[in-house]
Amino acid sequence: MSLLRRALWGLLLVVAAGCRSEPPPDGITVLVEAPPDSLDGRFALTAIGQRMVQLIAPGLLTFDDTSRPVPELAESFRALSPTLVEFTLRPGLTFHDGTALTSEDVKATYDGVRSKALQSPKVDRYAPVEEVEVVDDRTVRFHLRGAYAPLLAELSLSIIPAERAGLDGVALQASHPVGAGAFRFESQPDEEHLTLVPFEGYHLGPPAIPRLYFRVVRDETTRVLELLKGRADLVTNAVSPAVLPLLRKQPGLRVLVRPGTGYAYLGFNLRPGPLADVRVRQAVCHLLEVKPLAEHKFHGLAEPATSMIPATHWAYTPGEGCRYNPAEAARLLDEAGYGDPDGPGGLPRLRLSLKVSTDRFRKSVALVLQEQLARGGIAVEVRSLEFGTLFNDIRRGNFEMVTLKWASVIEPDLMRNVYHSSNVPTEENHWGGLNRGALMDPELDALLEEASQVELSERKAAYARVGARLEELLPYAPLWHESSVAVVSRRLEGFEPSAHNFISSLARARKVGP
């Protein structure tokens, strides 16, 4: 046997010896689709960044599945007046570095994020806060410039040690974050990996999971294959509905579903054009069959929406949504001057364009909408654009219809940003503002302002009035609320998915088996 052949056999033997199944790591592995933008809560804007930050450094409040603020580091909170909110911290709170968490840290965190020097993207959210006052070690008060009920939604910002709250603490907090959360930062060797360990001093007791590994796996197929191989324990909202039936059949996996707070809609441009006429918008709405779309495209993992607010939300009031009624749609179009030129079929009554991102799934949904509207005589041209271009077009009002979604609707005051006439993007405000369809309605403006100022107990009624007015104006055709889906391995017990895709229940979950 030649030397070369002998060397080849040797190599093969080594490879074969190495080819054995690896035991899974000693903790729980969570796969995410992109790295966190920041581990510092004052800078984290992406859902992934914010979810990780919550585990390391939670805030005074968090939100339950009905989107109601509930105490986290705070033990309780109460409004002393419309412009003054008082928080009492839980007793004996400590940071991961062993120092005590007091009202001073809360004040320093909020003063820091509000300072222009820090350049936090969240600075504007705290504009309504005039001052944060320390009453004693466990009591802190927020003085507001005016009545502003949505403030509570912003008080989930992670609390960090006072010495890191300024500009000179930013680099340290980003690279080695410290907080009072259930898990302590252990290492982040590169952007693709993050390891957390249980914090012994966590106020609800140390988590039972021995170690938490986050791994970035960008490719959806690879995430699914890692789950099938048993090398991943948790993937939340990063697997398409079409794959879930396969995963449900796996003995080693469970698929957990919870109604979600994301909101998908068909947005109209109300600037001069056919859609400026509310009858045309109503006709479009009556031609949509949302229920079968939700059932087939999402395999039942989406609920038809009647408004931005999902049925599980504290501010929800039942509404009409888009009821399928082609006869009514035809009547409305006739009335609006878009009669059928040559009877059913043939030439369309009206031509519109629909812009959508390049995401394959979103595109396929747009094609179904196109088909549904075509049946009612509205010819729709679907244009799929790269996100940068799409976003630019929408901001500049360069669209007729668009399908987009709000990732998570927690605070209904989002409606003021989206529908108030002062938030129309224009050249003067450099195309800022979220009222991209240019809805202008003084009555709605007044209702939205009222809802942001009334006391907590009156807000639900105020948003019911907002909802009723929106149904008349129809600036968006509501589509659906996508469910929150977690694929969990049998090794991970006690994990509860959240309506907002939070993963904070990992603090109460445990690892079983090998």
Partner 1 sequence: MRRAASAVIAVVGALLLISLFLNLVPGDPIDVMLGEEASEVDREALRRAVGMDQPWYAQLWTFSKDFATGELRTSLPPFQKKVLPAIGAALPKTLQLTVASLLIAVGIAIPLGVAAAARKGTAVDSAAMGVAVAGVALPRFWLGPMLIIVFALWLDWLPVSGAESWRHLVLPSLTLGTALAAFLSRMTRAAMLETLREDFVTVARAKGLHPRVVLWKHAFRNALLPILTVLGLEFGTLLGGAIVTEKVFAWPGMGTLLLTAIEKRDYNTVRATVLMFTLCYVIVNTLTDVAYALVDPRVRRRS
Residue 413 near residue 150, CB atoms below 8 Å: yes
Nearer to partner 1, 120 or 498 (CB): 120
Dihedral sign, CA of 472, 475, 479, 485? Answer: negative
Question: Given the DSSP bridges, would you call strands 74-81 and 69-71 parallel, antiparallel or unpaired?
Answer: unpaired
In the list 97, 219, 381, 443, the residue contacting partner 1 (rule: CB under 8 A) is 219
Instruction: Find the binder of partner 1 among 72, 154, 226, 233 (CB under 8 A).
Output: 226
Query: Given the complex with partner 1, which of 31 and 378 has the nearer CB atom?
Result: 31
Between CA 117 and CA 167 the distance in angstroms is: 7
Structure tokens at 419: 């529908």
Residue of 432, 446, 456, 513 that binds partner 1 (CB under 8 A):
432
From the list 216, 155, 164, 211, the residue with the least C-alpha distance to 183 is: 211
Strands 212-216, 28-32: pairing kind: parallel
Shortest Å, Cβ 102 to partner 1: 26
The 10 Å Cβ neighbour count of residue 200 is: 12
Tell whether residue 217 is a contact of partner 1 (CB under 8 A). yes
State the minimum distance, in angstroms, from the CB of residue 165 to partner 1. Answer: 13
Mask: binding to partner 1, 477-506, rule CB under 8 A, as x and -? Answer: ------------------------------
| 23: enclosing H helix or E strand | none
> Which one of 3, 78, 91, 190 is in contact with partner 1 (CB under 8 A)?
190
d(CA 301, CA 324): 21
Tokens found for residue 31:
């796969």
8 vs 345: CA distance, rounded Å: 70
Angle between helices 456-473 and 442-453 (to 10 degrees): 160
Are 472 and 457 in contact, with CB atoms under 8 Å apart?
no
The site for partner 1, by CB under 8 A, has a size of 49
With binding defined as CB under 8 A, does residue 429 bind partner 1? Answer: yes
CA angle 352, 355, 356 (to 5 degrees): 145
Which of 83, 384, 389, 505 is the binder for partner 1 (CB under 8 A)?
Answer: 389
Q: Which residues of 354-383 are buried (b: 16+ CB within 10 A; e: fewer)?
A: bbbbeeeebeebbeebbebbeebbbebeeb
Work out whether 118 is an interface residue with partner 1 (CB under 8 A).
Answer: yes
The reply to whether 430 sits near partner 1 by the rule CB under 8 A is yes
- How many residues in total does the chain contain? 514
Binding of residue 121 to partner 1 (CB under 8 A): yes
Q: Least Å distance between CB 155 and partner 1? A: 18
| Binding mask of the shown chain, residues 357 to 386, with x at each position contacting partner 1 by CB under 8 A | -----------------------------x
141 burial via Cβ count (<10 Å: 0-12, 13-18, 19+): middle
Q: Is 124 in the site for partner 1 (CB under 8 A)?
A: yes
Query: Closest separation between CB of residue 196 and partner 1, Å?
Result: 18
Q: Pick one of 6, 145, 218, 323: the residue that binds partner 1 (CB under 8 A).
A: 218
Q: How far is the CB of 65 from partner 1 (least distance, A)?
A: 25
Q: Any bridge partners for residue 265, and if so which? A: 404, 478
Tokens encoding 103: 């009202």
Print the binding letters for residues 20-59 with partner 1: x by CB under 8 A, - otherwise: xxx-----------xx-xx----x-x--------------
If one asks whether residue 453 binds partner 1 (CB under 8 A), the answer comes out as no
In this chain, which of 123, 153, 379, 407 binds partner 1, going by CB under 8 A? 123
Identify which range of 80-88, 217-225, 333-341, 405-413 contacts partner 1 by CB under 8 A.
Answer: 217-225
| Chain residues that interact with partner 1, rule: CB under 8 A | 15, 18-22, 34-35, 37-38, 43, 45, 118-119, 121-124, 167, 170-171, 174-175, 190-192, 215-219, 221-222, 225-226, 228-229, 231, 386-389, 391-392, 417, 429-430, 432, 434
